[in-house]
Amino acid sequence: MPASAEGALRRSLRVTRIVNSYYSGLDNRTNPFNYRLLRAGWIMAGADYRIERASVPGHEFIFCLEGAGYVRIAATLARVEAGQLVWLPVERPHAHYPDPANPWDILWLRIESPNLGRLATVLSVDSDPVFRFATPDDVRRLFEEALGQIQQHSLVAAAATERTAAGLMERLIDSRSTRALEPAVAGHRGLAGLMQEMHLHYNDVWTTERFAETCRVSKSHLFRLFKLAFGQTPNAWLRGYRIAQAKRLLVETDESIGVIARRVGYEDPLYFSRDFKRVVGLPPSRFRDLER
DNA sequence: TCACTTCGTCCACGAATGCA
DNA sequence: TGCATTCGTGGACGAAGTGA
């Protein structure tokens, strides 16, 4: 039996072991920094270990050391494998659990910061919460640093946590930056600008002329460039992002389908329903019922 | 660049639901 | 029971997207 298969089998038979689990000793009044590390821990999960919660404060970051697992936030279900990180905005209903055939070992952090929600939006965390890295060991070291800092309950440690959290954000942003794209589009400032505009103004009216003008290229070159970088057209990308935002609003709010359609950029609520069903497989109203 | 295909929007209509 | 509102479906047409 290969070593990797043997390791997976051994993990699938074990019971869950909480190796470390720490709480922060500093609250909002005593911690003057932007990032506040609320909790951190290390878990060697058994096959039946499962976390399912409606809401807790902050954002949770899980780094998979070995094995594999799954996370669910709103309607997004994602598989996480060794060396990958998953970002969970845990103020919303969420769940995470190991792959029973190969349960994961994870390091996890729960961080609170006023800017994390906006950053999550910019990085499309709702539609793609899993981050992959060229050098995952660097990310692992940041988690280990944070585990050491949270045990100290001092301002010096809180300051160090600020640096560690900022380093983690830098790596998350970097993993989704244009540097990760094909060489032909790497560093294309127009395309980077277009992506930033699309993230910030996804609910505006976008025409092919606006895509091209924002990217500062011709229409035909825009389609070539975009497809090379993302494997789809600008409108297809925008549609996926809008549907992801709509899923979130359907679960989090009581607004009507028509209001949500307009909020995410669909001028025609009827077309939104048709598009939603085509992408998700359910009409918006049915999706909302099931998710609640 | 251009011809062809696919997509997005609009309109009309019907079903389901809530309310007076 | 009738009316208003919300949501879903189908068809037509112009705009967007693709490939040579």
* A286 CB less than 7 Å from any atom of strand C: yes
- CA-to-C1' span, A36 to B12 (A): 56
| Residues facing strand B, Cβ within 7 A | A 220, 235-236, 239, 266-268, 270-271, 274-275
Q: Which nucleotides of C are covered by protein (CB under 7 A)?
A: 6-10, 15-20
- Residue extents of the structural domains in chain A: 3-176, 189-291
Give percent above pLDDT 70 in chain A: 68
- CA-to-C1' span, A87 to B16 (A): 39
d(CA A212, CA A105): 45
Its CATH architecture, for the domain A189-291, is Orthogonal Bundle (1.10)
Whose C1' is closest to the CA of A235: which nucleotide? C16
Residue-wise pLDDT for A154-208, tens only, equals 777 788 888 888 888 888 877 765 444 444 444 456 676 677 777 777 777 676 6
pLDDT at A36: 84
pLDDT at A188: 59
For the residues A115-135, what does the mean pLDDT come to?
75
Q: Which region among A172-181, A255-264, A280-289 has the lowest average model confidence (pLDDT)? A: A172-181
**Any bridge partners for residue A80, and if so which?**
A69
- CA-to-C1' span, A271 to C10 (A): 12
Q: Above 50 in pLDDT, residue A92? A: yes
For the residues A26-48, what does the mean pLDDT come to?
78
Q: Which nucleotides of B are covered by protein (CB under 7 A)?
A: 1-2, 7-12
The average confidence (pLDDT) of chain A is 76
* A211 CB less than 7 Å from any atom of strand C: yes
Distances in Å between the alpha carbon of A182 and those of A198, A211, A214, A225? 20, 20, 20, 10
- CA-to-C1' span, A218 to B11 (A): 34
pLDDT at A60: 94
Tell me the pTM.
Answer: 0.58
Higher pLDDT, A106 or A205: A106
Residue-wise pLDDT for A209-236, tens only, equals 677 777 776 666 666 667 666 656 677 6
- CA-to-C1' span, A208 to C16 (A): 7
Q: Above 60 in pLDDT, residue A292? A: no
Higher pLDDT, A81 or A25: A81
Token digits of residue A216 = 């500062």
Its CATH architecture, for the domain A3-176, is Sandwich (2.60)
Residue-wise pLDDT for A134-152, tens only, equals 778 889 999 999 988 888 8
Whose C1' is closest to the CA of A272: which nucleotide? B8
Give percent above pLDDT 90 in chain A: 10
pLDDT at A140: 92
Among A68, A95, A93, A94, residue whose Cα is nearest residue A81 = A68
Whose C1' is closest to the CA of A223: which nucleotide? C17
pLDDT at A237: 72
pLDDT at A244: 72
